Amino acid sequence: MGTSTAYAAVAAALLAALCYAIGAALEQKEASATATERVVHPGLLWQVLQRPVWLAGFAVMAVGEVLHVLALAWAPLAVVQPIGVTTVLFALPIGALVARRRPRLPELAAAAVTVAGLAALLTGMKVSAAEPVLSGHDLAVLAPAVAGGLALLTLVALRASGALRTLLLGCGSGAAFGVTAALVRLLTHRVEVHGVSGLVGWVTPVIAVTAVAGLLLEQGAYKSGHLGVAVAGYTVTDPLVAVALGAWVLHQPARATHPWWAAAEAMVVMTGVILLARAVTAPQRPPAAAPSPRRPEVTRSLVSTAP
């Protein structure tokens, strides 16, 4: 990889992260303004699909996806993925701008901790380049595990409130997108081997189902009202679930170069997400009221009148 190609890959990855953040801010603005009271409901998707601003945000995210694919074509995954997590940092000031408020320093600091930990963790992961294979036995285990896990996470999220609900829905969205990414990797390999006929089979409809489930949970997280927490939730879980499924069911083993460092980095990520959730729910100090001008005291003089 030449120097110019490396610079192009880094620039494309950063622009992709920026597009993801802009799209997320626009989508969250529209999802939170929908009339439905349910945060996880097909009606929520139907409502946002009728909003031009939401569609614009979706289009910006699509541009980000194209840039992300270009970055992966120019540089290895170990370079592109850590840059991609900067979406969390971009989302906070952009979301604050859309909401017409100033980003708060505790939120930015917590997001920086999360991004640093996750970037270090992803950089230290070594993923095998073996051909992805999914056996019938693995599929029989994977399908109910994914469906049951997402259903359980959604039920727990619906019983929670505030930033915790947003975080759980964001993590569920990231998990669904991570499964989608792992299956897309398998589908891409099938197309490379069998051509267009590789699209025929069970993989394509399952990808559609997991992608829609991820989109629904993502909009539910946005509807809950905490953009930074939602973005952090799915930004953390998406690549980790994709790597874990690749190792578990696609037979592409992944390992940490330094396991103890990886454990410490995971703790940093968890700490950053917790701090971010606490920062967004902390009550904001109302602006100090301007002191009212003091009226000059009127001195009453006692005038004695002569009888």
Q: Which tens digit of pLDDT belongs to each residue from 146-158? A: 899 999 999 999 9
Between 197 and 281, residue with greater pLDDT: 197
End-to-end CA distance of the chain: 109
The pLDDT score that the predictor gives to residue 89 is 87
The answer to whether residue 169 scores a pLDDT higher than 90 is yes
Handedness of CA 46, 18, 161, 121 (dihedral sign): positive
CB 170 within 8 A of CB 234: yes
DSSP state of 62: H
The strand pairing partners of 255, in sequence order, are 126
Residue 6 has a pLDDT of 76
Q: Which of 241, 246, 237, 227 is nearest to 270 (CA)?
A: 237
Percent of the chain with pLDDT over 70: 85
What pLDDT, on a 0 to 100 scale, did the predictor assign at position 78?
65
pLDDT of residue 301: 45
Give the pLDDT confidence of 196-216 residue by residue, as tens digits: 777 777 778 888 999 999 999
CA distance 231 to 169: 10
Q: Looking at the DSSP assignment, which residues form a beta bridge with residue 125?
A: 256
Residue 89, by phi and psi: left (phi above 0), alpha (psi -120 to 50) or beta? alpha
Q: What is the pLDDT of residue 156?
A: 93
Least confident segment among 63-72, 169-178, 182-191: 182-191
Determine the pLDDT at residue 298. 47
- Encode pLDDT of 103-135 as tens digits: 888 888 988 888 888 888 877 777 666 677 776
Kind and range of the H or E element at 125?
A: strand 125-127
pLDDT over 70 (residue 268): yes
Q: What is the pLDDT confidence band of residue 189, given thresholds at 50, 70 and 90?
A: confident
